[in-house]
């Protein structure tokens, strides 16, 4: 049966206070018809993304509006924009999984903008995850473009995604419709949980030839 907003809110609050990465002392949670809105402040960008992901994992949540702002504690020494830019460039240049061509990094008051090209969609996401670990980051604009190193026709991409879905225990392949055009993947359908939604997203994200994933899967909001 469907869960009430109050039940969902209690579980979200409990999860945020449980997660040691999240300082939830200045976070407020609102729930309306399964849609959760997070308000307030957190002390790091890691806390910001962790709060979002924790909320997605709660049974009954159908969408999340993350309106949290990042405000580093006054006693913490935050790097300058120039220092952050240098550290981010070093972190990306040294990572063996990422070869960013024509990399441009802009940092303005802790807001990071990435430009350049990578050869796979998952590498774009991985680059953002690496930047998120850098002290001082308050927001990331990821404008990295994907230019695959080899041509893969859309039908082959779709077939590879479906095969991956069929091999995953968290999601039923028949629940997911996969459309691919010029490497752009659109996932539609209804799945029973956010775990299934993320599993479907991962199936597309790590498939060769994908340049973007538009995850339109709906979550039924029903308990298992």
Q: What is the pLDDT of residue 60?
A: 84
Write out the two tokens for 136: 């001082």
Q: What is the pLDDT of residue 221?
A: 56
Q: What is the pLDDT of residue 187?
A: 96
Q: What is the pLDDT of residue 110?
A: 93
pTM of this prediction? 0.79
Q: What is the pLDDT of residue 29?
A: 97
Q: What is the pLDDT of residue 73?
A: 82
Q: What is the pLDDT of residue 1?
A: 59
Q: What is the pLDDT of residue 195?
A: 87
Q: What is the pLDDT of residue 206?
A: 95
Residue pLDDT tens, the chain, 224 long: 578 999 999 999 999 999 999 999 999 999 999 899 999 999 999 999 999 999 988 888 888 999 999 988 887 788 999 999 999 999 999 998 888 888 899 999 999 999 999 999 999 999 999 999 898 999 999 999 999 888 899 999 999 999 999 999 889 999 999 999 999 999 999 998 888 999 999 999 999 999 999 999 988 754 44
Separation between Cα atoms, residue 75 and residue 213, nearest integer Å: 40
Domains of the chain, each with CATH number or no CATH:
5-70 (3.30.1340), 81-146 (3.30.1340), 154-219 (3.30.1340)
């Amino acid at each position: 049966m469907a869960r009430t907003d109050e039940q969902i809110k209690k579980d979200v609050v409990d999860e945020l206070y449980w997660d040691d990465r999240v300082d939830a002392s200045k976070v407020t949670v609102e729930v309306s018809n399964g849609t959760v809105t997070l308000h307030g402040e957190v002390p790091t960008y890691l806390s910001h993304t962790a709060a979002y992901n924790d909320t997605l994992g709660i049974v009954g949540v159908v969408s999340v509006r993350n309106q949290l702002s990042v405000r580093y504690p006054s006693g913490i020494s935050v790097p300058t924009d120039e220092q952050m830019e240098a550290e981010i460039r070093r972190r990306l240049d040294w990572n063996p999984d990422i070869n960013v061509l024509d990399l441009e990094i802009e940092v303005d008051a802790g807001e990071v903008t990435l430009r350049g090209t990578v050869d796979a969609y998952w590498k774009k996401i991985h680059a953002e995850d690496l930047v998120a670990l850098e002290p001082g980051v308050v927001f990331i604009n990821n404008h990295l473009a994907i230019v695959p190193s080899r041509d893969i026709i859309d039908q082959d991409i779709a077939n590879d995604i479906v095969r991956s879905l069929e091999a995953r225990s968290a999601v039923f392949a028949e629940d997911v419709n996969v459309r691919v055009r010029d490497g752009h993947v659109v996932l539609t359908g209804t799945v029973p949980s956010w775990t299934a939604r993320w599993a479907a997203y991962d199936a597309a994200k790590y498939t060769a030839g994908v340049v973007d994933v538009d995850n339109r899967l709906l979550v039924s909001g029903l308990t298992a």
